[in-house]
A and B are shown apart, each in its own frame.
Chain A
Amino acid sequence: MTEKERKGLDRVREIYQDRAHRAKELKAEGKQVMGYLCLYPVLEMLTAVDLAPYRILGDMEEPITKADACLPTVVCPFIRSALDLGLKGKYDFLDGVVMAHICDVGEKTSHIWRTYLNPSYFYFIDTPHTVHKAAQQQLKEQLKDFKKTLESFTGRELSLDKLKQAIKTYNRQRALVRELYDLRKPDPPLISGAETLQVMVALMSIPVDEGIDLLRQVISEVKEGKNGPPKKPARLLVWGSIIDNTALIRMIEELEANVVIDDTCVGSRAYFPNVELTDDPLDGLVYRYLVGLKCPRTFRESVFGETKKDYIKDLESRFGYIKDYAKEWNVNGVILQSVRYCDIHGYEVPGLRDYLDHIGLPNIYLEHDYSEAALAPLRTRAQAFLEVIG
């Protein structure tokens, strides 16, 4: 079997093992590959000028060494790892890089990346922190400029039609991801959390249309349902900062639990929000990327500009979607996890736990160092939590 013919989950595993393989192949074929960090760079625009987006991730299995010379050790180890790989030349195959103001250290890392690695194309999107109208306008102005730089870099026009086309394609991919996630609703789920995560990582490593084909194959294989996980007492939702390696989920699923749904950024957070096709497609994109993406890096409140505040109402508006997930996927416990030193997620934890307590979902918070070797101590914690929810 040649590589392209290899199907579904086998192919997923293959991509997961060697993420850059396909990108390098494409590059050899003359396609330009554009790296991006986090969820805020607008992928539709990259695809519309015929660039292949490739998500920059870290590597939990590789010790961080080089990055310590330009980032302190008391910051998010995921971002340190990503930068470390960059400094070690592992992302040299990228033709350019797009980064955005995600969190504070993400923003600083963007500038460090540019200073040290100086890619031939680089763009930094200063995503606002609020969702006010003025903030949406500010993002839109930047996207207009981003468009110009993409056009001059590629020498191709980013036409409205192509952009609309790309939006439709991405929405199609997003719908398929939902379909895959739906297969986790039965008990036992038809696909494990760890395998789903592999699929998500694979999707972020190949062009969107190839991803669509891959998803179709995966879905049909999973539906046959031969190799799904066994039934287990706990059906968990995993919330939190980035998880781009299956080790943590695998560790949880080796215990008496299935992870059936996530709210993390290599998962539902990345794929659930759709883009509405607006007259000016940029409007729909701005809305999706600023308002639609539910990452705690954005400040949102229940009612914009309200003069009185109600705590529960506020929580409801910020976390209500988690309740919906829990209902739809029939969840009986929530693991909140975050890499150490992530302020974005850290500040959210007590409020989210208040909310989960309020709606009666058992929960636990685990902090980890983004290192496979350092996961072991979490095992006892996770197991104890499962014993607690019985």
Chain B
Amino acid sequence: MAWFMGIDIGSGSSKGVITEDGKLVAYHVLPSKANYRVVAQKLRDELLAKVALPPGDITYTIATGYGGGSVPFSNQQVADIRCCARGISSVFPLVRTVIDVQGMSSQVIRLKEGGQVINFVVSEKCAAGSGRFLEVIANVLRIDLKDIGPLSLKSKNPITFTTGCAVFGESEAISRVSEGISKEDILAGVHKALANKISTLIDRIGVEEQWAISGGGGLNVGLIKSVEERLGIQLLVPPQPQLITALGAAIMAEARGGLIARSEITN
């Protein structure tokens, strides 16, 4: 028996998984808060508690994500793009393009079987191109993040934002509300705006079937719908899109840790 851990410290939430022989046996999500070190530690404790193991039983741990450098107990740090590709591939082996929508950025990754990255693009460092834009708008409309997607689907008349800035977009949303525009139209508008940004990324690297979405954005049916419509495609959605990168990290840990374990034996 060997266990492996993947820790993804994201800008908004931190995700951790434990795998055993390639199978997910435990996962946990925590808000990242301010101190990544503390969050990572807590994440590990929770995970270990779930499987009732002492830390020493984890053969290999890989950390990734925005705060991946602040995970003191990891054996290795790996770029999130690679982990994401590995993770999605373990869920959907036929996926060749994954759209990863996180809190800080959106990225489009092309991969081959086995989850090896063959190309990628990352959005600019502007909140208007990331999942954060949705959070900002959800927040001012006082709608729970998990509800914005379903609500936006009800819209018949999505608004068009006149600004490309998330912060000014927030005020725009407020004035629209006061003009009597419905919340679903505003939400549909913001989903559309983000889908447009994502589609310009996609145009830059070209694409291949099958498609999937990962990251917190994958929890949002409204965004999925907008992207599908904008691009005329069908997106596969993994059961836990937010965990994909952490899962990928654990899978890489298996490969890596497995090698080490073997070499120890031969030595």
Contact = CB atoms under 8 A, between A and B. Distances in A.
B204 interface: yes
B204 A68 contact: yes
B31 interface: no
B203 A66 contact: yes
Contacts of A69: 203-206
A112 to B, nearest CB: 15
15 contacts: A63-B196, A63-B200, A65-B199, A65-B200, A65-B203, A66-B203, A68-B200, A68-B203, A68-B204, A69-B203, A69-B204, A69-B205, A69-B206, A373-B162, A376-B162
Nearest to B202: A65
Nearest to A66: B203
B34 to A, nearest CB: 34
A66 B196 CA distance: 13
Interface in A39-69: 63, 65-66, 68-69
5 smallest beta-carbon distances between A and B, as pairs: A65-B203, A68-B204, A69-B204, A65-B200, A68-B203
Question: Main secondary structure on chain A at its contact with chain B?
Answer: helix
Interface string B79-90: 000000000000
Contacts of B196: 63
Nearest to B124: A73
Contacts of B162: 373, 376
A69 B206 CA distance: 8
B80 to A, nearest CB: 23
Question: Main secondary structure on chain B at its contact with chain A?
Answer: helix
Interface of A: 63, 65-66, 68-69, 373, 376
Select the residue from B200, B205, B206 with max chain A CB neighbours within 10 A. Answer: B200
A213 to B, nearest CB: 40
Nearest to B201: A68
A68 B162 CA distance: 22
Nearest to B203: A65
Interface string B51-79: 00000000000000000000000000000
Interface in B13-38: none
Given A65-B200, A68-B200, A69-B204, 10 more contacts: A63-B196, A63-B200, A65-B203, A68-B203, A68-B204, A69-B203, A69-B205, A69-B206, A373-B162, A376-B162
A65 B200 CA distance: 6
Interface string B143-176: 0000000000000000000100000000000000
Contacts of A376: 162
A376 B203 CA distance: 27
A66 B162 CA distance: 23
Contacts of A373: 162
A334 to B, nearest CB: 29
B232 to A, nearest CB: 13
Contacts of B206: 69
B106 to A, nearest CB: 15
Contacts of B200: 63, 65, 68
A319 B221 CA distance: 58
Nearest to A374: B164
Contacts of B203: 65-66, 68-69
